[in-house]
Amino acid sequence: MKRRVVIVTEIIAPYRIPVFNALAQHDDIDLHLIFLAENDHTQREWLVYKDEIRFSYQVLPAWRRRIGRQSFLLNWGVETALRRAAPDFIVCGGYNYVASWQSLRWARRNRVPFSLWAESTNNDFRGCYPLIEFLKIKFLRGCDAFVVPGKSSIEYLQNYGVPHERIYTAPNAVDTQFFAKRAEAIRRDAATHRDALRLPARFFLFAGRLVPEKGIFDLLRAYNTLTPEIRKNMGLVFVGDGAARSAVLQRTLAITPGCIHLAGFAQRERLAAYYALADVFVFPTHTDVWGMVVNEAMACGLPVISSNAAGCVADLVENGWNGRVFSTGDVSQLACAMNELALDPELRALMSNRSQERIQHYSPEAWAAGMARSVLPHPRDAE
């Protein structure tokens, strides 16, 4: 008999649909998703690809407000939804919403095993307030198991005393085949797509929200320190939107020579075109529990320059192998990495191949296999 697994998570993020679809195909799992909201329009305007969903789900009624950096999301009907779903196992994506605590309380009351899907890392500077730490520890102690995307999150949980045998890895993944195939198609007619998007012949690419914590101003300063000759031949493209857009635009005016293009927010299909046409992907974030854009860039065959604050770095980016890793906020290190890759086409090609090789192990099927290991019965469950 299949095990009824219910995942409680925030929104229907487009990059999560393929991994949930893969898990729903597992022979021993009957999957149901409970989303706390359909989208988060305070952050980004993602499309919800409902026609691609191949799993059972529902979206709870919700009230959302964002005040500064804090997001407040309240739901009603959580316990009713769980009762109707009749789970044999609950996986909860995070502990920072009231619905997360309601789910944990319902699981404990009904003696249903409960797992935390945790992506936090020791480099994540959010939180660290005494009350938040107290509540976090209380939540962790109520969980039976933990699912993480990679090495950085394992270290984070072990710092809170979570035993290694209770931690399972489901490697964070995007639809690697979609991005790889889309990038290949774009490159077959690169000139047409480059003209349509008004892109320079060669460029560094950043994709993400335009906010200071993504390191975008470090990236501008690093680009400005490159030699005039490099800046003449190598542009810088920002894909994304956010509160700092006008500040970024203002600073670009002082950088000459150079070609800096703010492309705005891009949905999945168009985003793949930027990856396909770029030379190098740069991710200078100051805090990021993972960084799914790095998965996407690697699937499209890009070398990656990333700060060591990105949670994905320990798993995806090997310094000197498929990219460069620099100390967070170190503009000099970032500029050196950009200079090296701009001037060495053979190194870029080698790192490109290695990125594509490594990301094959971070597929939706790999994520589903890891999640399945965490929710299906184990020999020790009977002890």
Tell me, what's the pLDDT at 383? 42
Same-domain pairing of 162 and 181: no
E strand or H helix that includes residue 304: strand 304-307
**CA dihedral angle for residue 155, residue 157, residue 159, residue 164, rounded to 10 degrees:** -80
Taking the whole predicted model, whether its pTM rises above 0.85 is answered as yes
- Three-state DSSP class for 269? helix
Tell which residue, 120, 103, 121, has the closest CA to residue 112: 103
Structure tokens at 347: 């190194």
Same-domain pairing of 343 and 371: no
* Domain of 111, in residue numbers: 3-173+363-382
Tell me, what's the pLDDT at 298? 98
Partners of 114 in beta bridges: 90
Same-domain pairing of 168 and 209: no
Based on its alpha-carbon atoms, the radius of gyration of the chain, rounded to whole angstroms, reads 21
Residue entry with tokens 């997360």: 100
Same-domain pairing of 186 and 212: yes
Same-domain pairing of 126 and 152: yes
Give residue-wise pLDDT tens across range 167-213.
999 999 999 999 999 999 999 999 999 999 999 999 999 999 999 99
Alpha carbons within 13 angstroms on the beta-carbon side of residue 321 total: 13
Tell me, what's the pLDDT at 126? 54
Tell me, what's the pLDDT at 65? 83
Distance from the first to the final alpha carbon of the chain = 21
Same-domain pairing of 133 and 76: yes
Q: In CATH, what number is assigned to the domain containing residue 62? A: 3.40.50.2000
Q: Phi and psi at residue 243, in whole multiples of 5°?
A: -65, -25
Tell me, what's the pLDDT at 129? 75
Number of domains in the chain: 2
Whole-number Å distance between alpha carbons of 192 and 328? 36
Low pLDDT (below 50) residues in the chain: 379-383
Does residue 257 have a cis peptide bond before it, meaning omega lies within 30 degrees of 0? yes
Q: Phi and psi at residue 217, in whole multiples of 5°?
A: -75, -30
Tell which residue, 95, 101, 55, has the closest CA to residue 78: 101
Same-domain pairing of 57 and 189: no
Does residue 200 have a cis peptide bond before it, meaning omega lies within 30 degrees of 0? no
**CA dihedral angle for residue 191, residue 197, residue 200, residue 206, rounded to 10 degrees:** -120
The sign of the torsion formed by the CA atoms of 321, 327, 330, 332 equals negative
Same-domain pairing of 128 and 70: yes
Give residue-wise pLDDT tens across range 238-297.
999 999 999 999 999 999 999 999 999 999 999 999 999 999 999 999 999 999 999 999
DSSP 306-345: EETTBTTHHHH--BTTTEEEE-TT-HHHHHHHHHHHHH-H
Whole-number Å distance between alpha carbons of 99 and 8? 9
Same-domain pairing of 307 and 371: no
Same-domain pairing of 129 and 220: no
User: CB–CB of 238/353 below 8 Å?
Assistant: no
Distances from the Cα of 132 to the Cα of 9, 77, 137, 191, 267, angstroms: 20, 25, 9, 51, 34
User: CB–CB of 332/131 below 8 Å?
Assistant: no
Same-domain pairing of 64 and 189: no
Whole-number Å distance between alpha carbons of 151 and 158? 11
Same-domain pairing of 208 and 169: no
Tell me, what's the pLDDT at 7? 98
Q: Phi and psi at residue 60, in whole multiples of 5°?
A: -75, 150
